[in-house]
Amino acid sequence: MRDMTSPLRSVWEAPAAQPPPPRRVWRDWVLVGVLPPLAVLEATARPDVPWRVLWVVVLIALVPTLLWRRIRPLLMLVIVFTVMTTLSIAISEPELASTAYPLVLVYAVMRWGTGRAMLIGPAIAVGCGALTLALGPTTLGDIIGSVAVVVMTITLGVALRWRAAARARELDRLKLLEREQLARDLHDTVAHHVSAIAIQAQAGTAVAAADPDAAAEVLRVIEGEASRTLAEMRSIVRMLRREDAAETAPGPGIADLRRLARSEPGGPLVDVQLTGDVDELPPTIGAAVYRLAQEGVTNARRHARHATGVDVIVHADAAGIRLDVRDDGDPAASAAPGYGITGMIERATLLGGTCEAGPAPDGGWIVTAVLPRSGWST
């Protein structure tokens, strides 16, 4: 019995949808502003509806509940369905099409509510609807139609909730991949220096015979600590990343940026410009700049419609390094950040920098990243 109820218990204990919903957006105000005039217009056009004036007043009074449907979805649903069901029993059934807007609250419960709300809300809506149908003249068609509308509303809410959760999981996965790649880049950089320390310590040990015993002991400590640190770092990074042939190759850097200028049949021409002191950048920053530029060029080739050229401009100075990737195509209709942009922002943030992407003021799409020269800005 416990196993049979575990799925239901899982739904019951589910938290509210993540990420948290916005409190209000412009669509909410449009909805609240449009519904009252529509209700008045319908009541005016249908003088045969009983108690139409009272129903319009109640409907208009309940419309503001839509403004709280995301942050208090179950409470708003209970208020609206309780009032409308009570009124239906007391005077008459609502015969206005405007009374259908409470279905928005059913959708909101399934889309934004907690697991408890997802189970209680539809039960209340179905119960109120069944009570209203039972107390009035009802045909089989009315029952089938009502059930179909409620089921479609619930399904839509659940589907969009699942889709948003899947996107959030994918974004988290990409952030983890960026952290994994950054860990590899850091490993390659630090391992180089630690290996040099180990070699110098070994050389010092070899010539320490002519020096005091204390110096030889210090060199042995340095050698042991350096070797141990290198082994521990490799062990940690090995757990963070998958071990395959591609990941054992040296990471790319600033010197590899010009490889992005290769042309693809039918694709835009890529021009790479490097200015300033780019040769003395730390390997970690060089690898990050390459990864950001690579993702920017890839996005331009895939998504920039009618693009003929992509400019990759890297400028380094004493303060830091700036990367601009710009195309001359038509930006996509949606300005929502995709998975690639999210990964770029995550990598830049981890290094103490910033990354922004969006339509350029004079056309095209531009990605701008600014990184501190040290790689770890405080």
Provide the terminal-to-terminal Cα distance of the chain, rounded to the nearest Å.
56
* Dihedral sign, Cα of residue 211, residue 212, residue 214, residue 220: positive
Crossing angle, helix 140-206 and helix 103-112, to 10 degrees? 20
Phi first, then psi: give them for residue 69, nearest 5 degrees.
-70, -20
Dihedral over alpha carbons 57, 59, 62, 65 (to 10 degrees)? -150
> Given the structure tokens 């200028």, which residue do they identify?
261
> Residue type at 117?
A
Q: Has residue 321 got a pLDDT over 80? A: yes
Q: Does the 254-372 domain belong in CATH 3.30.565.10?
A: yes
Under 8 Å between Cβ of 262 and 270: yes
pLDDT in tens, 146-187: 788 888 999 998 898 888 888 877 777 777 776 777 666 666
Range 354-361 contact pairs with CB under 8 angstroms and sequence separation of 24 or more: 355/292, 357/296, 358/331, 359/331, 359/335, 360/326
Give the β-pairing of 320-327 and 309-316.
antiparallel
In DSSP terms, which residues pair with 366 in a beta bridge?
326, 358
pLDDT in tens, 296-320: 888 888 777 888 889 999 988 888 8
How far is Cα 189 from Cα 183, in angstroms, rounded to an integer? 10
Under 8 Å between Cβ of 257 and 314: yes
How many CA within 13 A on the CB side of residue 343? 22
pLDDT at 325: 92
Under 8 Å between Cβ of 81 and 120: no
CA 282 → CA 16, 188, 332, distances in Å?
Answer: 44, 11, 35
Phi first, then psi: give them for residue 44, nearest 5 degrees.
-70, -35
Model confidence, pTM: 0.54
pLDDT in tens, 242-282: 444 444 445 677 778 888 887 666 678 888 888 888 777 77
Q: Has residue 3 got a pLDDT over 70? A: no
Percentage helix, strand, coil for the chain under 3-state DSSP, each rounded to 5: 65, 10, 25
